[in-house]
Structure 1
Amino acid sequence: MSLEIEATDVIRLVQQFLKENNLQRTLQTLQEESTVALNTVDSIEGFTADIQNGRWDVVLKTVSQLKISQKKLVDLYEQITLELMELRELGAARSLLRQTDPMQYLKDHYPERYLHLEHLLSRTYFDEKEAYPDESSKEKRRAVIAQALSSEVTVVAPSRLLALLGQALKWQNAQGLLPPDTAYDLFRGAAPTAVAEDDAPPTECYNSIKFPKKQHAECVIFSPDGQYLVTGSVDGFIEIWNYMTGKLRKDFKYQAEDNLMLMEDAVLSLGFSRDSETLASGAQDGKIKVWKIQNGQCLRRFPNAHTQGVTSVSLSKDGTQVLSSSFDQTIRIHGMKSGKMTKEFRGHTSFVNDAAFSLDGTRVISASSDGTTKIWDVKTTDCVATITLHDGQAVSSGVHSPTATQICLLPRALDRFVLCNKSPYAYVMNLKGQVVKSMTAAPPPPAVGGGAAKSIAGTDLVAVTTSPKAEYTYCANEGNVLHAFHTESGKLMTSFKAAEAEIIGLAHHPFSNVLAVYSEDGVVSLWKP
């Protein structure tokens, strides 16, 4: 269900807030600049009673803050003038008749009525029948005016703006769009990313997102603020999901209207800005686009980012640069402002499957199908280390090394990252290119003289991610089994089958124990402890 909200209603809500907080000058300015009038009273019954009882000082003060048609104002001012004459308050009656805008309007448009009032004012006595002809009376005129003016005003419940905001947050909370028990930044529309939740490995699949037949997600990512789960699929669509319910987020107007973010080819990679407000996407055709999440608009296009598919995209800490890797064997940095490539890192001899900025932004780490992992100096684009890995350790470059597939930064260690390659091993590395630890679920090698170790089918790893505090490292293998390792000790904590079809990748929520596993059968399964 889609609700249309009028801009004028939003302005009135703000005006009501200003009125309740006695910010009269601001209210007046907003009414003048927007030409939208608040036209609210505390009580229609009270407003009507003031008119019917002739409490004109109160009525005029109320009416001065309202936008009322000239004809109705003329009727009101005419009645007040007549009653001042009856009270023989001739000076006040004369001022009202000759010095107010409604009476000037009366003089210009209804000269006979105006002259009639001037005639009554010149009399030395007040004649009720002359003032109220045709069986009218003061009471009847007051009643007619009260009815006319009360139709122009409305009553709004106190603190309506704050009440609506509270209801909206309750709804988002009920939909699972807000992390529980956290403060909330209402202005930015974001919850802080810190929450006291201990890392715990997943054990149950609580929900899943199922794509149509022959479609599947090629990449999945959580936003850094934890509000969004975003998928990029083979048909080029980029969609935002509620990771609790597994349903498409219809609170984004463009998604509710089926006007989705779209690439011309399969979406292979996604990367968020630190503030979760912009999203970069890389496609099979070598193009990159950067989107504004709130309205789905494309902020920047890089039509010639690469000559082949874009395997990874990430935004620099300050959001001014886009880092990308590609099947064209290069890693590149593109300027958000210029829309052009500013740096290129060359040296890999096969596909570059992943690239990431180090947490301090001084290095780029890349993983390639040529079997090497390289570390580059961001300023100079020089390669400062080349790492070749085999059977759980770094080896000389002469040895054949399996395809390096994915890099995962360790959030609490500036100089460390986890690397996954097409072997049964995952590696904790440092920025000097040294292996700090290797983790594997494969059986130990045979004793000396017991023959060569055999690779067991399906044990090679395809994806890696870590828990929010990096206490656990999660790896998925070709047999669709998920392994949870204790990162510090390298000990295998648990293993279980996490998908029916071949797993493409993993994504972890930034501060809750929610793990997304996406596979080739078009299912994104969502796991929790």
Structure 2
Amino acid sequence: MSQSNSTNMEIESSDVIRLIQQFLKENNLLNSLAALQEETTVTLNTVDSIEAFSSEILRGNWDNVLRVVSQLRIPEKKLMDLYEQIVIELVELREIGTARTLLRQTTPTQLLRDQFPDRYLHLEQILSRSHFDPKDAYPNGISKEKRRQIIAQALSSEVTVVNPSRLLTLLGQALKFQEQQGMLPPDSAYDLFRGTVSVEQAEMDDVPTKCYNTIKFPKKQHAESMAFSPNGQMLVTGSTDGFIEVWNYLTAKLRKDLKYQAEDNLMSMEDAVLCLNFSKDSEMLASGAQDGKIKVWKVQTGQCLRRYSPAHQGGVTSVCFSPDGTQILSASFDLTVRLHGLKSGKLLKEFRGHTSYVNYASFSLDGTQVVSSSSDGTIRIWDFKTASCLSSFTPHDGTGTIAGAAGLTVNSCFPYPKPNQIVACLKAPAAYLLNMDGNVIRKFSSPENATDLASDTQPAGESGAKKDGQVVPMTDYSAAGLSPQAEILYCLAENGQLHCFYAATGKHIQTLAAADGEVISMVTHPLTNVIAVNTLDGRVLLWKA
């Protein structure tokens, strides 16, 4: 579990409204601005320049002043003072008709009449006289210039000036902060409206040869399972202490843009998390634990949507969503594969027949069948609707049985992106491309004397490489995966070496030391040439081309 400190900062909703109002004003969306101000009763109360606003008042440019004031929220008393002065100056200019209209038909002057009848009567008297007398208009020795100065000072105190494009600036600063904190991939295209990062598919598949970052877990803890989201934006790990964490796979930092993670309120199981899998839309995450329980989560909120307690009588070795996202398929140490309803939370089907641990189960490419692989050395094909076993076979290369005869475990078996083809990874120095009848199409196995390691400075390990001039035995594979466009098959050996093959031909491309210790598994990114390898000593090594 990661540690973090968070600071809560209160933001007033009225300030957010003002930011939107400024955006509308700067983009000349004045009708929208007026509607927003009327509906929310929140006004912007900003001017481009306080000095310019004050200068307009001091010069008596009342048309401009009233145009600005109409968009502001000014206290009634100050508005009364303003309109009183304008009426006086209109009379001085002998604009009697305009002065009379302003006095008798505007809200501030009507308030003046109701609250200060003596002042209102004084204006009526000025209007009725045949000549203008400054001493009568401005009693107590106050001049027109002095009155303008007082009004300018009073109104200027009610307005503020903000930097242009404030809303866009704040959004940009927020995104920059998230990038610095590892919440967003650097230099990425960000969809502000949807709150997502668009990830473009790599133009061509390539072998990852650079370990660019590492996630480190606390002592005596390690990631037991991992999964990339289908949209490519999240790497999720499930650890031996039961915690499930969402990472930025580029920066190897915890995603603190997820509120529950920022508050250290992580998704968690009661036992070690053995498997993880996303729904097709990347919105939900299924997790299976050592104690046989399964939970389904809403990733954006960390909310547990469904619990299956227990789903199996033994540890859950794999989970996946049905193609329509309404069911959960799981495999277990209890020798079964089961199908669970997401809405009902009930067990819907059970697939029985394996005689040892079921290590992996998935749907066929068309979703009509279930494929499972087991430590009993077999792969079974099941009818999804009836749960009946259609076929059972052991992977072999045509010269005899490879898995069954030797009792070899089939670690995983997953669809190859061609109809009726699957990839099987054995606990052996071999993987196979098979059809659904069990016939081998292609075998993937490194040359016995493979020496083309990615770096001479990295440990060569034992998988068919030379060590101190001696050829040592090949090491069994623990996991396999396909590149984004399925052109390359990756097979991870137990000693940390990654064997890379062309999927179309089976030709060995390269062997690189992906880890210098015992590994658990690996996952491949769905869109880019990135691979994550988790190790027993508490690291997740991130590789890219």
Pairwise CA distance, 1:176: 7.6
Q: Is the counterpart of residue 441 in structure 1 residue 424 in structure 2?
A: no
Closer, same or farther: CA 70–477 of 1 in aligned 2, 3 Å: same
Closer, same or farther: CA 509–120 of 1 in aligned 2, 3 Å: same
User: 1:224 corresponds to which residue?
Assistant: 230
Q: Is the counterpart of residue 309 in structure 1 residue 308 in structure 2?
A: no
User: 1:364 corresponds to which residue?
Assistant: 370
Number of matched residues? 517
- Contact 1:273–1:315 under 8 Å retained in 2: yes
- Contact 2:178–2:257 under 8 Å retained in 1: no
User: 1:85 corresponds to which residue?
Assistant: 91
CA distance in 2, matches of 1:484, 1:468: 14
CA distance in 2, matches of 1:133, 1:78: 14
CA distance in 1, matches of 2:85, 2:291: 76
Closer, same or farther: CA 482–193 of 1 in aligned 2, 3 Å: same
| Partner secondary structure for residue 323 of structure 1 | strand
Q: Is the counterpart of residue 40 in structure 1 residue 46 in structure 2?
A: yes
User: 1:73 corresponds to which residue?
Assistant: 79
Closer, same or farther: CA 43–88 of 1 in aligned 2, 3 Å: same
Pairwise CA distance, 1:213: 0.7
- Counterpart of 2:337, as a letter, is I
Q: Is the counterpart of residue 14 in structure 1 residue 20 in structure 2?
A: yes
Q: Is the counterpart of residue 137 in structure 1 residue 153 in structure 2?
A: no
Cα deviation code 1:9-46 (max 9, x no counterpart): 44333333333333333333333444433333333333
CA distance in 1, matches of 2:154, 2:216: 58
What is the RMSD computed on CA atoms of the aligned residues? 3.5
Pairwise CA distance, 1:216: 0.9
- Contact 1:392–1:427 under 8 Å retained in 2: no
Q: Is the counterpart of residue 195 in structure 1 residue 201 in structure 2?
A: yes
| Partner secondary structure for residue 389 of structure 1 | coil
Closer, same or farther: CA 269–8 of 1 in aligned 2, 3 Å: farther
| Partner secondary structure for residue 196 of structure 2 | coil
CA distance in 1, matches of 2:400, 2:361: 19
Pairwise CA distance, 1:493: 2.4
- Contact 2:371–2:414 under 8 Å retained in 1: no
Q: Is the counterpart of residue 495 in structure 1 residue 511 in structure 2?
A: yes
User: 1:417 corresponds to which residue?
Assistant: 422
| Partner secondary structure for residue 136 of structure 1 | coil
CA distance in 1, matches of 2:364, 2:199: 20
| Partner secondary structure for residue 485 of structure 1 | strand
Closer, same or farther: CA 523–124 of 1 in aligned 2, 3 Å: same
- Counterpart of 2:375, as a letter, is S
Pairwise CA distance, 1:260: 2.4
Q: Is the counterpart of residue 482 in structure 1 residue 487 in structure 2?
A: no
Gap regions ≥5 residues in structure 2? 1-5, 450-471
- Counterpart of 1:347, as a letter, is G
- Counterpart of 1:311, as a letter, is T
Q: Is the counterpart of residue 407 in structure 1 residue 413 in structure 2?
A: yes
Closer, same or farther: CA 345–25 of 1 in aligned 2, 3 Å: farther
CA distance in 1, matches of 2:85, 2:167: 37
After superposition, where does 1:142-181 map in structure 2 within 5 Å? 142-165=148-171
User: 1:426 corresponds to which residue?
Assistant: 431
Q: In structure 1, which of residues 490, 506, 525 is the aligned counterpart of residue 541 of structure 2?
A: 525
User: 2:134 corresponds to which residue?
Assistant: 128
User: 2:393 corresponds to which residue?
Assistant: 387
Pairwise CA distance, 1:246: 2.1
After superposition, where does 1:322-361 map in structure 2 within 5 Å? 322-361=328-367
CA distance in 2, matches of 1:340, 1:29: 51
User: 2:250 corresponds to which residue?
Assistant: 244
CA distance in 1, matches of 2:148, 2:345: 68
Closer, same or farther: CA 269–162 of 1 in aligned 2, 3 Å: same
Pairwise CA distance, 1:217: 0.8
Q: In structure 1, which of residues 481, 504, 509 is the aligned counterpart of residue 520 of structure 2?
A: 504
Closer, same or farther: CA 332–158 of 1 in aligned 2, 3 Å: farther
| Partner secondary structure for residue 146 of structure 2 | helix
CA distance in 1, matches of 2:366, 2:10: 44
Closer, same or farther: CA 40–501 of 1 in aligned 2, 3 Å: same
Q: In structure 2, which of residues 281, 287, 298 is the aligned counterpart of residue 292 of structure 1?
A: 298
Closer, same or farther: CA 168–398 of 1 in aligned 2, 3 Å: closer
Pairwise CA distance, 1:212: 0.6
User: 1:259 corresponds to which residue?
Assistant: 265
Pairwise CA distance, 1:235: 1.9
Cα deviation code 1:39-63 (max 9, x no counterpart): 3333333333223222222222222
| Partner secondary structure for residue 15 of structure 1 | helix
CA distance in 1, matches of 2:245, 2:434: 33
Percent of residue pairs identical: 61
CA distance in 2, matches of 1:26, 1:338: 46
CA distance in 1, matches of 2:160, 2:399: 75
CA distance in 1, matches of 2:26, 2:265: 39
Pairwise CA distance, 1:523: 0.6
TM-score (norm 1): 0.84
Pairwise CA distance, 1:232: 1.6
Pairwise CA distance, 1:514: 1.9
CA distance in 2, matches of 1:65, 1:22: 13
Closer, same or farther: CA 55–493 of 1 in aligned 2, 3 Å: same
Cα deviation code 1:84-121 (max 9, x no counterpart): 33334344334434433334444455555445545544
CA distance in 2, matches of 1:393, 1:104: 104
| Partner secondary structure for residue 54 of structure 2 | helix
- Counterpart of 2:486, as a letter, is A
Closer, same or farther: CA 105–254 of 1 in aligned 2, 3 Å: farther
User: 2:280 corresponds to which residue?
Assistant: 274
- Contact 2:307–2:345 under 8 Å retained in 1: yes
TM-score (norm 2): 0.82
Moved more, 483-492 or 304-313: 304-313
Pairwise CA distance, 1:482: 2.1
- Counterpart of 1:51, as a letter, is I
Pairwise CA distance, 1:209: 0.9
CA distance in 2, matches of 1:61, 1:339: 64
- Counterpart of 2:102, as a letter, is L
User: 2:454 corresponds to which residue?
Assistant: none
Q: In structure 2, which of residues 101, 105, 120 is the aligned counterpart of residue 99 of structure 1?
A: 105
Pairwise CA distance, 1:170: 6.0
| Partner secondary structure for residue 348 of structure 1 | coil
| Partner secondary structure for residue 419 of structure 1 | strand
User: 1:447 corresponds to which residue?
Assistant: none
CA distance in 2, matches of 1:148, 1:213: 65
- Contact 1:96–1:103 under 8 Å retained in 2: yes
- Contact 1:287–1:305 under 8 Å retained in 2: yes
CA distance in 2, matches of 1:74, 1:430: 88
CA distance in 2, matches of 1:174, 1:235: 28
CA distance in 2, matches of 1:380, 1:432: 19
Pairwise CA distance, 1:518: 0.3
CA distance in 1, matches of 2:41, 2:337: 54
Q: Is the counterpart of residue 461 in structure 1 residue 473 in structure 2?
A: no
| Partner secondary structure for residue 275 of structure 2 | strand
